[in-house]
Structure 1
């Protein structure tokens, strides 16, 4: 279970942060708790709307991608902190990530009451119209005399307190699961809420240049002081110059496209002119919203929304679309839409990978001495143009092949799906040499046909 722990104090030395960090470390067998800070969230002001600012959007994404939220509040003058109250204002002004989200309130204070009045205050705020959080009822965790509660390693000293905290977290986990079951499946048309115009912002959105600007790359690079040319970039498992990175990406035998979690098209590995690509792209398109990349003809936008929503919500990590087999030009093109997640498993966009599999299959057949035959038990899915067994079921949305990423038209017709396994041949079967298919001699050591 994924939980977000929001610390209501912005003090450097915060006991409530110690409490939340202890929970994350001690009870990782119960839940995965990500502790987040609100110190970068500005004070709420309608005159200076920061809804789309990075700090607010960061919290929004964390909350939306979590199963539940834990809030730890100190007590300031019998209430919760101004910083936490202001944060909740931003999270209920134009965006509402806390709506119907399970929330557990905990708190620590210097004196015996353990932030009890602040917790009551916070509960009223979270249950207010516009916030509409689902605060777990009938349970409190009040850590009083907090200055004596932790040892030098940040661990709670008292075993009874640890047990109470553990039991509370177990109850909250059950509460989250009950609410999830009561909520039921999402509406069938939930995908329609996907915003293909990229009107929102994420914590990686480049501000100051309009999406769709034909000079978006150059302007965005200037705004961000982006590395280029011989500048080095540190990657997870190596260091490359920008030139080397471009050479490497262009050498991959596939067309790659990156669309971020705001549905803004950011990158493609410019391998060839648009007219020679399977999924046509131009240098002017990066920075554009998906609504501009995919003109809304033949109900394309509806199909694109379905694919994005399927990946964003985790119904699947990859959706594949096979285009009609082009027998004339010997092309087997498959569009792979792969969900991208960060190290915290937060959805970060889509990697579209377009591959012509025929050269790979052809080489494999040559190396193994196999041939292709039609599979009499298969049928072609008219929507996805993909071969499917009658007994197989798919959870992926139906997508019109003509509405795929490629805007080019094809005159080729779907062909029966090939089987990559050659039929078994009975060596004793009576058949003339003319009837039997010729099989090339294969060197078992070299794995290549002679």
Structure 2
């Protein structure tokens, strides 16, 4: 379950932000909570419509894709902050991501009653026509005397308060499930992904067959691409093409660039395919992502891309078991954005965390103990079946592994 936590204050120091961060950390095994800040949201003004701006659309996508929302509100003059009110105005002017969305209200205040009056007012706003959120009834969390509520590690001190907060969150999670049943299947928020890259974007190099084994060479010739000692003006430096290649090849992880048209256009090839964590070949560069994957994984690949394209998540991590107990390989899918905040493609970086974990343990003198895998938290034997986290297909450690983005199918 994915929840969005909205910090209802634009203050640099906010106890309500602290409360949400505590919830994010304390209950991470129960639910995924992602915090969003409203401090950069412009003041609402219908004569200066900012609905299509990147920041408003970013929040629109995140809230639309979430299963539910938690709003942490302070109390200013018996009501919510102007910044939170303005934020809600944008989300009920021309777009309505909170409509039929389950919402839980929490709040912290210096005084005994917490933010009870602000919460009551916020509930009225959320239930107003145009917003139409489904606020969790009869359940609220009020944190009073907040200045003394947290310890030096930003954890709640009082055990009873911790228990109440956990019980309230669990009730909200059940409420989200009930609303989901009442509302029925979610309408798709994003258009289906064109994994065959039949469209084009501003940087598409036309007139060259994407599946051509020498796509790079043909494309470079067509656009007169610079090479060798020609300089490239980057946003924080000037490098020659050779220096840029040296730099990318030296990064201790495997990098892949797939553009917003779902075309695989780069990887920092430093090893033969059979020695890579996610095997790729030079002939794959230029291919549409569909041609880089087995058809059985299309649904999983589409899900990852839609998470990034819509802003529902900016980073998706997938642990791909290799059958080697001395490695812990993670595929990280990072969304990339242009200067206007528009989706520009994904950066997949594949990294073996185990050497880093071993180094950390050696330097600190700590040890991993117990029968539970201390990193993934999953108990597994070497004979257990592994689940491909992207395609959802079940596979054993001796079967073929499928790289979720490059799709290079390889047998270990």
Q: Scaled by the length of structure 2, what TM-score is found?
A: 0.54
C-alpha change, 1:154 and 1:226, in structure 2 (3 Å) is closer
With over 3 angstroms needed to count, the CA separation of the structure-2 counterparts of 1:133 and 1:194, relative to structure 1, is: farther
Q: CA deviation at 1:186?
A: 4.2
Task: Give the CA deviation at 1:94.
Answer: 2.4
* Residue matched to 2:159: 159
* Distance in 1 between residues matched to 2:146 and 2:249, nearest whole Å: 57
Q: Structure 1 pair 227/98, CA: closer, same or farther in 2 (3 Å)? A: farther
Q: 2:72 is matched with which residue?
A: 72
| 3-state SS in 2 of match to 1:318 | helix
Partner secondary structure for residue 43 of structure 2: coil
SS of 2:151's equivalent in the other structure is: coil
Q: Contact 1:109–1:146 (CA<8 Å) still a contact in 2?
A: yes
1:266-298 deviation per Cα after TM superposition (whole angstroms, max 9, x unaligned)? 98459xxxxxx99999xxxxxxxxxxx9xxxxx
Separation (CA, whole Å) in 1 of partners of 2:124 and 2:174 = 23
Please, which of 311, 315, 319 is the counterpart of residue 343 of structure 1? 315
| Shift in CA distance, 213/71, structure 1 to aligned 2, threshold 3 Å | same
| Counterparts of 1:16 and 1:192, CA distance in 2 | 32
Q: Secondary structure at the match of 1:176?
A: helix
Q: CA shift at 1:161, angstroms?
A: 1.0
Residue pair 1:107, 1:142 contacting (<8 A) in 2 also:
yes
Give the Cα–Cα distance (whole angstroms) in 2 for the partners of residues 162 and 75 of structure 1.
Answer: 21
Structure-2 residue corresponding to 1:97: 97
Q: SS state of the match for residue 316, structure 1?
A: helix
Change (3 A) 1:37 1:344: farther
Structure 2 unmatched runs, 5+: 195-200, 206-222, 224-231, 268-282, 289-296, 318-332, 336-342, 347-390, 393-412
Alpha-carbon distance in 2 for matches of 1:148, 1:138: 27
1:18 shift after superposition: 1.3
CA change 1:267–1:48 in 2 (3 A) is farther
Could you tell me how far 1:32 is from its partner in structure 2? 1.7
Deviation, structure 1 residue 194: 6.5
Q: How far does residue 183 in structure 1 lie from its aligned partner after superposition?
A: 2.3
Match of 1:11 in 2: 11
Other structure's SS at 1:84 match: helix
Please list the CA deviations of residues 53-84 of structure 1 after superposition, one character each: whole Å capped at 9, or x if unmatched: 33323322322332211000001111111011
- 2:223 matched to 1:230? no
Structure 1 residues 99 and 228: CA distance shift in structure 2, 3 A: farther
- 2:300 is aligned with 1:317: yes
Q: Give the Cα–Cα distance (whole angstroms) in 2 for the partners of residues 246 and 64 of structure 1.
A: 36
Shift of 1:241: 4.8
Is residue 81 of structure 1 aligned with residue 81 of structure 2? yes
Query: In 2, are the aligned partners of 1:318 and 1:339 still within 8 Å (CA)?
Result: no
Structure 2 counterpart SS, 1:34:
strand
The Cα shift of 1:89 comes to 1.3
> The residue matched to 1:317 in structure 2 has which SS?
helix
Partner of 1:47, secondary structure, is coil
> TM-score, structure 1 length as denominator?
0.50
- When residues 90 and 266 of structure 1 are mapped into structure 2, their CA distance, relative to the original with a 3 A threshold, is farther
Query: Cα offset for 1:105?
Result: 0.2
Q: Report the Cα offset of residue 152 of structure 1.
A: 2.1
- 2:59 match: 59
Are the structure 2 counterparts of residues 102 and 163 from structure 1 closer, same or farther at C-alpha, using a change threshold of 3 Å? same
C-alpha RMSD of matched pairs (Å): 4.9
Match of residue 147 from structure 2: 147
Counterpart of 1:323? none
Pairing of 1:98-117 with structure 2 (within 5 A): 98-117=98-117
Cα drift, residue 224 of structure 1: 8.8
Q: Is the 8 A contact 1:126 1:135 kept in 2?
A: yes
Q: How far did 1:23 drift?
A: 1.3
Distance 1:244 1:68 in 2: 45
Q: Secondary structure at the match of 2:58?
A: helix
Which one has a bigger Cα radius of gyration?
Answer: 1
Note the C-alpha offset of 1:138: 0.7
| Aligned CA distance change for structure 1 residues 192 and 104 (closer, same or farther; 3 Å) | closer
**Distance of aligned partners of 1:159 and 1:179 in 2 relative to their CA distance in 1, 3 Å threshold:** same
| Aligned residues between the structures | 277
- CA distance in 1 between partners of 2:49 and 2:85 (Å): 16
Q: Classify 1:227/1:96 alpha carbon distance in 2 versus 1 (closer, same or farther; 3 Å).
A: farther
Query: Would you say 1:35 and 2:18 are equivalent positions?
Result: no
Matches within 5 A, 1:319-398: 342-343=314-315, 348=335
The C-alpha deviation readout for 1:186-218, integer Å capped at 9, x for no partner, is 46xx5896799xxxxxxxxxxxxxx75999x9x
Q: CA deviation at 1:244?
A: 5.4
